[in-house]
Chain A
């Protein structure tokens, strides 16, 4: 708790010393002490972050029909089964998380913070975000391919109208999703596994980037447990036991093996006619 107080103290210093109080587009310094400043600042951050949530919501509206198309294709091949759901419960980053991220990145407290109040909306890439949680590991790949397809010149012409709508309204940063699932063991630094893409509206709001993660239920399950057990204490500055870190990392590997096995079983049971043959 004492160490947790450190991140609190760091946020307080960050706010008092580096928020441009009274500047153009910024809040005037409120009467009262640090709690009043932080309370008002959180409302200001919430206001600044809200458009990212709206961008994420409109992106969901474009992604949903693509998932519906895939769902239909899968059902035609392998009968009724669940494909994926969109998790929009935390569509914007909370102001407290924004402040903590800024404070964590501020390693040299003598210097200016690398993420400033004038640039945090640009520097923090997941202010607007949502997850697509899929059933099988191959579903993650199938969904990712379907979302990447309209951005690839080789496949763009064979896209469905829903995919074309997506590409008309949003750009995909780098034309592809990052892959933290298929990483060589020597390069893997953390247990998080997902495909991650950054989408940018094309209608003059390119600054409103939205992070989309595609992962399996087991990967999401690992993430939610890691978030609660290790990530939260870590972000508050509480020391985390290396043994716990190792075990948590191993659990990610274990669940990856489970995902691989489930996919192999599905193929074995359904044979070549299984929905593994479905393409976006």
Chain B
């Protein structure tokens, strides 16, 4: 693995100009020798197929003898809008994969987006936005379809799998008639309403809190939703991230209990309903199960009782997304590197994968290139030192303090999944492990599925993240 050689001078340029040729984007495929003849042919065919599919308006090809003298190609071309890649970077991708990687880039050129490929350092540690939000277009579309027909939606996925990023992208797409509220922090309903008023109405949080004291938090939230419904010509949407944290916060309060918690949900729902605002709630645990297990309540009130469940699949683990990230990060694969990556790195848990790749960029920059043995060493070092899985570990330790038996069952299940070649086990056997704990077995199972990157598929459950699997192995199963 090595860094892209952006100093290569010669290449084939795909350029996009706006109507007045004042703004442009360019993607140059740099070449270094005769082996690039075929590579360029495949790249051009893929780009042409993408342009055929998405529209070729204002795209043009140029041969560039010297990329330091682009004015000789077109005096109006602004090189600051140029992305440089090597034709050699795409050698092992098949036609469909090439079309996926390059098609997305041409689409971004047309929209004059400054970045054509996602990069490893682009969203490490914060919610991924825009181009950094990987492979979620289909799911975003399906959620939007549900909202379009008037439904409210509950997004379910394990932690660190990109729910918040997806919620923020939904907010962006549906702006201005959308509002995202991160409820994971220990909120009271009053805090929630004041925070919403700050974001949607520009009020100072203190003034909003005083207002909530005077008129009640429901009235403040109502103001927010009135404003939200006024913004859009059609429907508007309130996005609540991890609302179970709000319920648990209420449950733990001195006056807490099921009724106050349900009252809060009922009031939020009533506010939304009265202004035609739809809801998207996201969590690692099903809200229905939270109230059923905690308080034995069978039905959530109002819109919360009608949430359409939408389970986020693990991020696309095919090569294309990973390859897009490598292209965006300037990493070029040598022979056999693609197989190494396929075996060791995946984006199911984007955070650790992006952290690892970001570290690789620095290492390759420092050393010039990395052999397979060096890649192995880098991965081992990362898995030993990383805090990328700390969140999972912390949750597991907290649960272990409550029950050593849960930790034991967790360890047995994970060891079994890790030791299985395909990383799978029958669902019934997973359930049996937790049922054997008796008592709150359902809750423990639910916790397990929300905490670890495991996915149900038919009658089996499988470990969706290769990096987690290796990390678990390096931890020697705790």
Interface residues of A (CB under 8 A from B): 50-51, 53-62, 64, 85-89, 91, 130, 165, 169-170, 201-203, 205, 208
B140 to chain A, nearest CB (A): 37
Q: Is B144 an interface residue (CB 8 A)?
A: no
B residues contacting A by CB (< 8 A) are 8-12, 30-38, 40-41, 44, 63-66, 69, 72-73
* CA distance in complex: A235, B318 (Å): 55
Is A58 touching B34 in the complex (CB atoms < 8 A)? yes
From A62, A86, A91, B33 is in contact (CB under 8 Å) with A62
Would B34 and A201 count as touching, CB distance under 8 A? Answer: yes
Q: Is the interface of B mostly helix, strand, loop or mixed?
A: mixed
For the complex, give the distance between the alpha carbons of A87 and B12 in Å: 14
CA distance A258 to B224 in the complex (A): 81
Measured between beta carbons, the chain B residues less than 8 angstroms from A54 are 12, 36-37, 40-41, 44
Report chain A residues within 8 Å CB of B9: 61, 64
Pair B10/A64 contact, Cβ less than 8 Å: yes
> Which B-chain residue is minimally distant from A86 (CB atoms)?
B65
**Closest-CB distance, B65 to chain A (whole angstroms):** 4
Q: With A50-B44, A57-B31, A61-B10 known to touch, is A203 a contact of B37 (CB < 8 Å)?
A: yes
Q: How far is the CB of B13 from chain A (nearest CB, A)?
A: 10
Hey, which chain B residues are within 8 Å of A85, CB to CB?
65-66, 69, 72
B contact residues around A201 at 8 Å (CB): 34, 37
Q: Are A61 and B66 in contact (CB under 8 A)?
A: no
Residue pairs across A and B with CB atoms within 8 Å: the count is 79
Known: A57-B10, A61-B10, A64-B9. A165 touches B33 (CB 8 A): yes
Cα distance A186–B10 in the bound complex, in angstroms: 41
Tell which of B33, B69, B73 touches A61, judged by Cβ atoms closer than 8 Å.
Answer: B33
B34: which of A86, A88, A202 is its contact (CB, 8 Å)?
A: A202
Taking the closest CB of chain A, its distance from the CB of B375, in whole angstroms, is 28
What is the bound-complex CA distance between A92 and B10, given in angstroms? 16
CB distance from B308 to the nearest CB of A (A): 49
Q: Is the CB of B40 within 8 A of A169?
A: no
- Give A91 to B398 CA distance when docked, in angstroms: 67
Please give, as numbers and ranges, the residues of chain B lying within 8 Å of A130 by CB-CB distance: 65
A56 to B64, CA, bound (A): 11
The 10 A-B pairs of least Cβ separation, nearest first, read A88-B65, A61-B10, A86-B65, A169-B34, A201-B34, A91-B63, A54-B40, A88-B63, A54-B37, A61-B31
Q: Which residues of A contact B72 (CB under 8 A)?
A: 85, 89
12 interchain pairs (CB within 8 A)? A54-B12, A55-B37, A58-B34, A59-B34, A61-B31, A62-B33, A64-B66, A86-B65, A169-B34, A201-B37, A203-B37, A208-B37
- Most chain A beta-carbon neighbours within 10 Å: one of B9, B10, B40, B65: B65
Closest CB-CB distance, A256 to chain B, in whole Å? 26
The answer for the CA separation of A130 and B63 in the assembled complex, in Å, is 11
Are the C-beta atoms of A60 and B37 separated by less than 8 Å? no
Q: Which residues of B contact A57 (CB under 8 A)?
A: 10-12, 31, 36, 40, 63
Residue in A closest to B33 when the chains form the complex, CB atoms? A169
CB distance from A55 to the nearest CB of B (A): 5
| Interchain CB contact (< 8 A) of A58 among B37, B64, B73 | B37
Most buried by A among B35, B37, B44, B66: B37
Residue of B nearest to A90 (CB): B63
Contacts of B11 in A (CB 8 A): 57, 61
**CB atoms of B34 and A60 under 8 A apart:** no
Closest to B40 in A: A54
Chain A hits for B64, CB < 8 A: 88
Complex Cα distance, B31 from A56, in Å, reads 11
Which chain A residues lie closer than 8 Å to B10 at the CB level? 57-58, 60-61, 64
Q: Collect the chain B residues with CB atoms within 8 Å of residue A58's CB.
A: 10, 31-37, 40
Query: A86 contacts B66, CB within 8 Å?
Result: yes
Structural contact, A61 and B37, CB atoms closer than 8 A: no
Given A60-B10, A64-B65, A86-B66, 6 additional A-B pairs, CB 8 A? A53-B63, A57-B63, A58-B31, A58-B32, A58-B40, A85-B65
Chain A residues near B35 (CB-CB < 8 A): 58, 169, 203
Minimum C-beta distance from A149 to chain B (A): 18
CA distance A165 to B65 in the complex (A): 18
Query: Are B65 and A203 in touch, CB under 8 angstroms?
Result: no
Chain A neighbourhood of B33, CB < 8 A: 58, 61-62, 165, 169
- Chain A's closest residue to B36 (CB) is A58
Could you say which residues of chain A place their CB within 8 Å of the CB of B41? Answer: 50-51, 54
Q: How far is the CA of A169 from the CA of B35 in the complex (A)?
A: 8
**Residue from A59, A61, A85 with most neighbouring chain B CB atoms (10 Å):** A61
CA distance A127 to B69 in the complex (A): 24
Q: A99 vs B40: C-alpha distance in the bound complex, in angstroms?
A: 26
Min Cβ gap A86→B in Å is 4
| Complex Cα–Cα for A153 and B378 (A) | 47
Kindly list chain A residues whose C-beta atoms are within 8 Å of the C-beta of B69: 85
A166 CB to closest chain B CB (Å) equals: 9
Minimum distance in angstroms from A30 CB to a CB of chain B: 19
Instruction: Name the residue on B nearest A170 (C-beta).
Output: B34
Docked complex Cα distance between A62 and B65 (Å) = 11
Q: Which residues of A contact B30 (CB under 8 A)?
A: 61
Shortest CB–CB separation between residue A201 and chain B, in angstroms?
Answer: 4
B264 to chain A, nearest CB (A): 65
B residues near A62, Cβ cutoff 8 Å: 32-34
Residues of B within 8 A of A53 (CB): 63
Residues of chain A contacted by B38 (CB below 8 angstroms)? 205
Complex contacts, B63 vs chain A, CB 8 Å: 53, 56-57, 88-89, 91
CB distance from A96 to the nearest CB of B (A): 18
